[in-house]
A and B are shown apart, each in its own frame.
Chain A
Amino acid sequence: MYAKVRSAAVYGLESYQVEVEVDISSGLPNFIIVGLPDTAIQESRERVRSSIINSELEFPLKRIVVNLAPADIRKEGPSFDLPIALGILKATGQIKTNLIKDYLILGELSLDGKLRKVDGTLPISLQAKEKGVKGIVLPAQNALEAAIVNGLEVKPVNHLREALEFFNGEKEINSVQFNLESIFSGNIQYELDFSEVKGQEHVKRALEVAASGGHNVLMIGPPGSGKTMLAQRLPTILPDLSLEESIEVTKIYSVAGLLPHNSPLVMRRPFRSPHHTISVAGLAGGGQYPRPGEISLSHQGVLFLDEFPEFPKNALQVLRQPLEDGKVTISRVSTSITYPAMFTLIGAMNPCPCGYFGDRLRECLCSPSKINQYRGKISGPLMDRIDIHVEVPRLTKEELTRASEGELSKEIKERVEKARRIQRERFKGLKITCNAQMKPKQIKNFCRLTLDACNLLEKAIEELRLSARSYDKILKVSRTIADLDEKEVIEIGHIAEAIQYRSLDRNLWV
């Protein structure tokens, strides 16, 4: 007695189909699973057995062999529970129709036959649609996520019995529908707003520039000056995610199992702030079965690294390639996996180990060599990829007690969106979308300066002894500032502001 059930698994962000074959033959009762299953799948034997018996169905006292094909790819996770159970029911004749072959089946079983949610539903249903599968049967908690894909019958089930009744034609299950347009027409709300931050106007301006041009930022300031507060509010001024971007981000969260069950689509730009004890694998992604790391979880959003120099040196080095390419590749012996990782990096650091170098009120206790060592933890090549450095000084008493509210995030966001539109227009047909991604040749093409702006830049390079590296950064940032100003040619004011954002190059600090 043989039965075949279709299922699927995820590797990286890609999904592949898995055929669950069940063969039941006479012999002493035995239940084996082959096809490179991991521990979670081996344990599924116990879940399948108990849930079938507890659903008042018959579990055959025979030799059961389950094969997960293709047999040469390692399978993981509990999502094969339901297909295996249904395969057994089909092979023993408890499922009487052939309806089962039209559907892709996913789901983890609990011992009483109830279904639990599984990870990676979105990539699986996207691929199922591509392969022309008619529908997908899965735990009810995952239904909305799968329904993002149009043209796929999504049948939610809560219990093994319900699935059995559906495949026996005894029960109709309504397909879950999901209206993408209606969800995308609504405005996205954030709990945070820039108006809550007092003072620090120049930092807000720097973040506005960063949001407009996609530049990475390093904030330097003493403890308690508001670096974290400012960074947390950056997503509120970034332009809204487009549908494609949103689906891309949702895929990552789906695979990582981090989707909130009430909202199947990630609509807000992610903000991730991992602790500085994070490992390389935690940041970049990895593990025996590779999982997306923090940089991929902040795809299309903000990665905030507080206490920047305290991060392990190799963890910071790992950021270099993703910052350049917008993706990260994790290599394994058999395959390699690529996760997208296009994020805005916001680093925050103290000016010195004690935190009070250059402070107006407290004296710094650090020796110059200590300060140098602290700064040296962030390597040159990484520094290269950070366009904007901005000091976040301690607020004065007057600034703290001043009653006036700052500008609303909404107003800043409007300017940012305008600047982004100009950039999209400019880079049409090129592979880049914002100023921060410009290559040297494109900088030459797109960054035209007025005469006095040119003079100022030359003078600045000379007097401040700026490097060639800084020169490019200044041009890129000034391009963004000019876009915010809606100017075609970069003017002296734009250049002057951009020079302000190179404080670490100006060596004012040491």
Chain B
Amino acid sequence: MKILFPFFAVIALVLLAVLGTAANLHFLFGVVIPYAALFIFIFGVIYRVLKWAKSPVPFCIPTTCGQQKSLPWIKQNKLENPSSTLHVIGRMALEVLTFRSLFRNIKGELRDSSKFVYGSDKWLWLGGIAFHYAFLIVLLRHIRLFAEPTPAYLYILEAFDGFLQIGIPRLFATGVVLLAAAAFLFLRRIYVPQVRYISLAADYFPLFLIMCIAATGIIMRYFFKTDIVGVKELTMGLVSFSPVIPKGVGSIFYVHLLLVSALFAYFPFSKLVHMAGVFLSPTRNMVANSREFRHVNPWNYPVKVHTYEEYEEDFREKMKMAEIPVEKE
């Protein structure tokens, strides 16, 4: 159920696009839905971030993963235990750009019911980083569809991405990597018992969606070639706010477009907001200098305490007997 429901949801989206184009609803699927999805994406993410930001950070709670700054002759680990904003920028950059914490991953196993062994386990890191960077480059490559003339850096990007020099059109590695990495993440969810046990429909849905997006993209580029001139006409129309529906663009393109729209619209309401959330995670983005500089809690309020005077009232005689100094004799 957790797997089938999202699977059929994606199939339903595919069918919807096919039927929509068959019913000549090109304007709806080519213009209205993409605009709406982008709108939801942008404002949805802003809404989410603002909502998080509205909750204050009452305490300075970085998770320290390295030596603190203490005595001058002890080497501080500035990236894992940052004591300045610059260090935090470094820590966050490592986290966001290289998935530092995931790179640390180790697998713990009980062997022979007698000893635990811990080994390096970088597969998740590898799958994750391949997935995210491939996705990023694929996205950047799509800028070609929204800019005229094509910016120069895209030629460079494409030259790298197409370094394998296979066939015509040249094979872009990232498209294949994206599909493969998403498939790996999916298989991992199914085959690793613990991960399968914790997985929700909401974990499979975006994977199916992205696999389908990558697959339709690959099909359009290498197999059933879509009318790229027509597509660019449409995309340029979208970006210049004068939408046009070109003739001759096949339904597979509309499938691709609807799935992308679904992903964009789904993004702010799902776990995919981790993209924005990671920047707001207090255990990573705070300076670990809470003894050096006072962190202020905006909702700190006075509390009832048991004062020394009350304490002495309770124990004065005993304190005097034990020759412990008291305030009132």
The answer to whether A and B assemble together is: no
Chain B residues within CB distance 8 Å of chain A: none
